[in-house]
Amino acid sequence: MTPATATRPAIDFGRATIHRNLSVAHLVEAALARGEGVLAANGALACDTGERTGRSPNDKYLEDTPAVRASIDWGTVNRPISPEHFDAIERAAMEHLRTQKDLYRFDGYAGADSAYRCKVTVYTMEAWHNLFAKTLFINAEPAALADWHSDWTIINAGALKLADPAKFGVRSPIAVVQSLEKKKVVIVGTRYAGEMKKSIFYAMNYDLPDMGVFPMHCSANVDRTDRSNVAIFFGLSGTGKTTLSADPNRALIGDDEHGWSDKGIFNIEGGCYAKCIRLSKEGEPEIWDAIRFGSVLENTVIDPATRIPDYDSAKKTENTRVTYPLNHIDGAVIPSVGAHPKNVIFLSADAFGVLPPVSKLSPEQAMYYFLNGYTSRLAGTEAGVTEPQPSFSVCFGAPFMPRPPMVYAELLAKRIREHKADVWLLNTGWTGGAYGVGHRFKLSWTRAMITAMLGGSLAKAQFREHPILGLAMPKAVAGVPSEVLDPRNTWKNGASYDSSARALASKFRENDRKFSISDAVRAAGPKA
């Protein structure tokens, strides 16, 4: 991408010492010396994010300028803030940062394909935040740093809370403000590190469509022996993107954010950001082994005597996280690029226990279910969410999509059509009843279904149609009890299931009214 800030003046941080692109060891040392965290027994740096243990979507704002106004899908996700208020928040953040003795700078990339990457500079007050950036973005080669001109700049003053929010045109002391014209992000009031990575994903979601690239909130992996067998997994946080893409039989390309160009796919990041609540070596060995020196644990309870992480504890939050560089995963694809996907998988954690565990989608259904992006927001992923809630999130990533949904849906349809990819809807949520009554699908069943998809056998299976949702359900999948493939069979009362299925179908129909779609795509939705 063009170095958008090449002609801009350098940022003046006053007398603060800027520590630039420190090594992992030096950042860990600085974080420990500053009391920002503790070293866990497995070598990871364990830190707390404070009051906010998840993203703050209600405190995220986009600068409203004439240059971008017409191309933004304004609403509850893309909330406008005036240029004057943006500038005022930036000034407040800079005044606070200039009072600091030490600040930390990271320079690196977003985008593993050099044709589409952007240069990112991150300034932070805390050393561990800079380590987070160093882990999640792609590190620049030392030779590139001598003449570095950033495309995007993040200014993280997370410890500062706005004393008079109304003065700044925001609703609370917390604000994450982004300018697509200035190519800048300013963070105040929240120390949750995930705001940094998601702000750059948001930026790429705006820029890449103009370059003919489909930006995707998905994970990706590839067969270790057949590099043409690429799979991508769409889904919001907690639906299994990271878990399911970390497969011992396949090489990881990335766990969260990708672009799909006319050459294939590429990872936007250089690391992984996995949920680790109830993590076990037996259930997720790849992630377990990736947590070592150079990783950052967020809000995980650490035994004060042994320093052993308690992954089962949700004392601080359900949204416990770990970040680690991609090379901590054995055999990960680096540079993280891949061929055109053969299988596209939509992940939904259905809190109602209605969706079949797996369904094969027609091209029209693929567009319908992508636009609706049905899932459940899981506890702790966002501030104020304490238990799973049903949710429609456009394109399986509404919080990160600045443009109108049809921009992304049409790019998906184009890529699927061009490369004849099979598309699947996979329910990683509940069966046998809704949340609180039923239970989550066994991970072993889900993995068996994915194995059948990626091996090609599931596409050749016999299917029957769900009478209410219209989805094609396989009659048999190796390694999965046949009775669970039709969710009605898992409920004690079939009539209760039908009632819940019709209620969910009604929610889909209510939600799809917001989209200007063809009759064929609309007809691909639920039947009742």
Residues that are catalytic: 55, 198, 217, 237, 241-242, 256, 321
Return the ∠ at Cα 424 (arms to 422 and 426), rounded to 5°. Answer: 155
Cα separation, 240 vs 348, whole angstroms:
9
In the numeric block, which tokens belong to residue 221? 């992996």
Please give the DSSP secondary-structure letter assigned to residue 511: H
d(CA 232, CA 217): 10
Taken as a whole, the chain contains a residue count of 528
- Proportion of the chain in helix, strand, coil states, percent, rounded to 5: 30, 25, 45
Task: Decide: residue 362, CB within 10 A, 0-12 exposed, 13-18 middle, 19+ buried.
Answer: middle
Radius of gyration of the chain (CA): 23
Tokens of 274: 């996995």
Find the angle CA(460)-CA(520)-CA(357) to the nearest 5 degrees: 40
Q: What does the alpha-carbon distance between residue 214 and residue 352 come to, in Å, rounded to a whole number? A: 31
Q: What is the DSSP string of 429-476?
A: SEESSSTTTSEEPPHHHHHHHHHHHHHTSGGGS-EEE-TTT--EEES-
| Euclidean distance between CA atoms 31 and 193, whole angstroms | 14
Angle at 28 between CA 27 and CA 34, to 5 degrees: 90
CA distance 44 to 32: 12
Nearest to residue 245, comparing CAs of 323, 308, 170, 332? 332
